[in-house]
Amino acid sequence: MYLSGFVAVTTANVLSGSVFEFLARPSRISVGVFTAVALSAANTFTFQIGDVIIANAAQVFDDVLATSGKEGPVFPDDFFIQNEPGLAGQRLVLQIARGTGNIAWAVIITEVI
């Protein structure tokens, strides 16, 4: 499953309310977050799976969308969290703190059987 979007304001959990907020099966999760503006210390993200915090107030890196031709995070280049394990029933939380500019995000959930 591939979920993505843009954040224009600080968001407690971009996955809140999504059918993918809670894992249905054991999965591997990858997360990409970037902005189109110059590096801003106020642009950060926190990601957790269940009660395990994978990234806490991690820096959102910049990528010039207008000149790169990108429309969102590209796997694997823009994904700083890759293949983290999650169990069925665990909640995914991707909190994005926006300082300046819009922030693009993407989550890839790969179920493992």
Task: Supply the range of the domain harboring residue 41.
Answer: 2-111
List, as one string, the DSSP characters of 37-72: SS--TT-EEEEEETTEEEEEEEEPEE--HHHH--SS
Q: Which bin fits 49, alpha (ψ -120 to 50), beta or left (φ > 0)?
A: beta
Q: Select from 99, 84, 83, 70 the least CA-distant residue to 10.
A: 99
What local confidence, expressed as pLDDT, does residue 48 receive?
A: 97
Looking up residue 20, the CATH number of its domain turns out to be 2.60.120
- Return per-residue pLDDT of the chain as tens, 113 residues: 998 888 888 888 999 999 999 999 999 999 998 887 666 678 899 999 999 999 999 988 776 554 556 666 777 877 889 999 999 999 999 999 988 778 888 999 999 98
Note the pLDDT of residue 64: 56
The pLDDT value given to residue 66? 45
Domain count, the chain: 1
